A and B are shown apart, each in its own frame.
Chain A
Amino acid sequence: MAPPTIAERRPEVVTRHLAAGREGWLTSATSADHKEVAKLFIGTSLTFLAVAVLAFVLTRVHLIVPGSTIFRPDIFSQISTASMTSITVLFAVPFVLGVLGYIVPLQIGARGVALPRLNQLAYWLYAAGTLTFFVSFLYLVPETGLFPLPPLSDDVYSPQHGVDAWIGGVGLATLGFVCWAINMVATLKNMRAPGMAWRRAPVLAWAARVISYIVLVAGPAMIAGLVMLAIDRNFAGVFFDAGEGGEPLLFAHLAWIYFTAIHTIMVVFALAVISEIVPTFSRKPLFSHSAVTTSIVAVGVLGTLAWMQNLYASPVADGFAYFAMLMALALLVPIGLIYVIWTLTMWEGAISTRAPLVLAIASAIALAFGLGGQWVTSVVGAGLLLENTVAAQQDTILTIVGFVLAGFAALHYWMPKLTGRVVADGPAKAAAGLILVSAAIYGFAMFFAGLAGQPVDVYRYFSDDGVSTLNLIATIASVFLMLGVFLELVNLVRGYGAGRPAGHDPWRGSTLEWFALSPPPPHNFDAVPDVRSPEPLRDIREAIRLREETFVPPEPLPASAPAEVGVPDPGDDAGMSDEAAAVDAPTADPDDIVSGEAADDSDSDTESADEVEPADEPQPEEGRGAADEPHEGEELDTDEGSDESGDGSPVS
């Protein structure tokens, strides 16, 4: 289990002789290491992605012809409830928490997380939630849809226990998310690498911060709603009982805050992942780091505040409706800005179309249509026409598809860090195309069906509705959508177990997670470098390159001729890395993983040096040494304009 480390000679860092002999699953289940916990999150949530997609296709197959009788109405509602709950609560959020929980501590140069046991508890609460919800399939499944709106979900209209299981499952999972968010906020506040001011923090770390705060706001709101509903159902409460002075709409608002927050989390995560991938694969810095991070904060705030854009038809005052409309419309500014920045980042870049970038672009396309559709229906007049029809639903589904593609992109991008292996490109690109095309066809079909008035969640439509052909098309498209998702899931599982070796920095990343080994040791880093820009690893690389270029051999005797003796001393740092590269390059680099695009030695030697060489000097010292002088002046006076000055400084 313990990967090779460069710290062998340091007494304070012990990675050998950890409790050996435990079985793998036992280690995973009991370890409080954020990486082990995160892998559990990712694995479990991907299982529920498969479940949700399968259930979704089952509902679509049922709707293939008008008046279909494949499933009984209650069975249909149960499958539909399982699908919607799985994709949001049991897949989307925990998947985000998993990826962020693995990568972000590495990105900020932390050697662990602030509250590891709380982090671990988060996973097990979530696992208990999934179990609680799905165990109800053994007795009575909830059939109240994604929103068990109170009069329907109270003990009069839903006397069966399925709704209680739904409450318990979602409540436990949400409590887990809140625990995770507390830990992430504490980690981000306290454990960043020296010099990593917020303006230099990677985009994904910003996303983690925003997502944590969203969870901390929306999670407790949902838990409060669920507790009230549970009291209403089981202890004769009247919170939502209009006959006793309660307010049924209160639950609708609390639930929409939560599910709008989940939607926002998906969007923020997808935008952040694409913003990480695009610069790496165009070999350019993000066009404006500060604008992207600010925009991500804005998306988080505006998106969560816009929850009432789904409640225009309910009795809300006009002022609130217009407020929600303004928030939803204003989302165009940060999201549009991010799209423009992606374009400008790739402009005149050296783009390599590997799987992460292809998936990221596919995600950007799906998101544009999904979010664009939501932007259109956020105008009150248009929303009242399409709200709760399949036309509005397909916007949400396209956004979720965009999120799933971004998730796949993230896994392709960071899988080398998780396992030291790279996932195959071919199936991923095929899956991206398949998913995107079938989602687009589905979207268009459902768009027209929604305009014709087909509502959501129906198990039946009628042949005189004029939507039969559209539903047939949507069903066929959804089958292909499922095939695409499953193809990619299989590809990921294969890549996890048996991908080709990747080395420590296959993409030539510029953030700190690529400074760690692959997979990282339990303590992540033997030495944490100082950070002087949003691209710390690039700074280190530049510093090493500079050292090599300007290398002058040491002159023990001032009298001898200085000019001719330009050969590096084998004992020197730089010479050592060259040797390491020579040893390492044939095995890991050339065509295996980078297929001739990142295979040049200027980067691979810095990374592979610590893999092969037990000597721990080169990297930390380069990082720190180069950090010394230009560091002081620059840290104080420039902030985000420092993209230029930040990377210029080690050279000058």
Chain B
Amino acid sequence: MPALEPVEGWRVVATPSALDGARWNGDDVDVLRIAPDEALALGATGVEIDDPDAIVEPEAGFSVAMLDVDDWHGVVDHIDWPLPEEPSVLAQGKVAGVPARIVLGEPTLLVVQAAYANELRSRLGW
């Protein structure tokens, strides 16, 4: 079964232009632009951003599963909304009725808030 594990990172709310130019610290950072003015940087250890009013917070409230093709096939039957056709595009919607975020790729990232992780595992039979 795929592992859905807590992940650390940074979360930033700032002006869209400042977020566009944000400089993320860390070796293996996945930046999810979850709203025009908000980014979740998984694996980031810090950020520099040109917005004095930006809200910049360490984030430990998410869990992530890295899905190979077989794992992904088991998940996709629980999605009833159109997924983007291009890889690496962030998709947001419900998986088995649980709010989640998906980045298609190899592997595919399945991101869920930790408060929902147990429920999602249960619904996916993990």
> Does A associate with B in a complex?
no
Chain A residues with a Cβ under 8 A of chain B: none
Interface residues of B (CB under 8 A from A): none
